Amino acid sequence: MGFLTDNADLLWSAFLTTLSLAVTSGVCALVLGTVLAGMRVSPVPPLRGLATFYVEVFRNTPLTVVFFFLVFGIVQIDLSFPSRFIAAVAALSLYTAAFVCEALRSGINAVPPGQAEAARALGLDFGQSLRTIVLPQAFRTVVPPLGNVWIALAKNTSIAAGFAVTDLTAALQRLSNANADQLLLVFAAIVAGYLVITLPSAWAIRVIEKRVAIVR
């Protein structure tokens, strides 16, 4: 155990990096994904087309490739992110937003069409009816799939380790290289770090799902 306490600072900061990568990207992806879902169901064809194009591009591109592009590719067009952490957040958010959008869209499709019709018949415009009637009901039905997306995101943060962000996986590489004799302990510590994020999430998702359920 002496080994772990010796490296407590590195492990703790790596854990915080992974957690903040996941939370920051999660929030960004939720916002962007919601906007995209709104576009995909909007009555304006160009908006629908744009959002569909976005989803197909990011959903079908490996996350590592998205990272490569944002870290090295955009340098070619004289752009760069202020830090590798921010580049990682951007890659994770852009990629995950496509999945958030599709999860939400399935929820939107599950809201009975009469709900939006009633809203429109009362004089709510498309945006109002989406915000006050359709999305609140859609979010409730997509808590389980959004939970999946969140847990996948939490684990996908590990790609950032390959791009000079010192997250849990980077700590794993560093500590296992330096301490080959302690390999099992290093693995256990790193896995525990991820589980601390994902297991309570799974539990929280179940609680939220129960709490927001709507009876029809």
Partner 1 sequence: MPCVTSQQTGAPLVELTGVNKWFGDLHVLQDIDLSIDRGEVVVVIGPSGSGKSTLCRAINRLESIQQGEIRIDGQKLPEEGKALAKLRSDVGMVFQSFNLFAHKTILQNVTLAPTRVRRQSKADAERRARELLDRVGVGHQADKYPAQLSGGQQQRVAIARALAMDPKVILFDEPTSALDPEMINEVLDVMTSLAREGMTMVVVTHEMGFARRAANRVVFMDGGRIVESADPQTFFTNPRSERARDFLSKILEH
Residues that bind partner 1 (CB under 8 A): 43, 112, 114-115, 117-126, 128, 132-133, 136-137, 140, 214-216
Q: Which amino acid is located at 115 in the chain?
A: Q
Which residues, other chains included, contact 134 with Cβ-Cβ below 8 Å and sequence gap of 6+?
41, 108, 111, 115, 116, 119
Could you tell me the smallest distance in angstroms from the CB atom of residue 130 to partner 1?
Answer: 12
| Minimum CB distance to partner 1 smaller for 45 or for 82 | 45
Could you tell me the smallest distance in angstroms from the CB atom of residue 121 to partner 1?
Answer: 4
| Minimum CB distance to partner 1 smaller for 184 or for 214 | 214
Residue 164 backbone zone (phi > 0: left; psi -120 to 50: alpha; other: beta): left
Report how far residue 178's alpha carbon sits from residue 199's, in angstroms, rounded to the nearest whole number: 29
Report how far residue 189's alpha carbon sits from residue 130's, in angstroms, rounded to the nearest whole number: 44
Could you tell me the smallest distance in angstroms from the CB atom of residue 115 to partner 1?
Answer: 6
Could you tell me the smallest distance in angstroms from the CB atom of residue 113 to partner 1?
Answer: 9
In the block, residue with structure tokens 């580049």: 87
Which residues, other chains included, contact 16 with Cβ-Cβ below 8 Å and sequence gap of 6+?
none
φ, ψ of residue 123 in degrees (nearest 5): 105, 5
| Minimum CB distance to partner 1 smaller for 14 or for 119 | 119
Q: Look up residue 98 and give its two tokens.
A: 């496509």
Could you tell me the smallest distance in angstroms from the CB atom of residue 213 to partner 1?
Answer: 10
| Minimum CB distance to partner 1 smaller for 141 or for 156 | 141
φ, ψ of residue 4 in degrees (nearest 5): -65, -45
| Minimum CB distance to partner 1 smaller for 8 or for 110 | 110
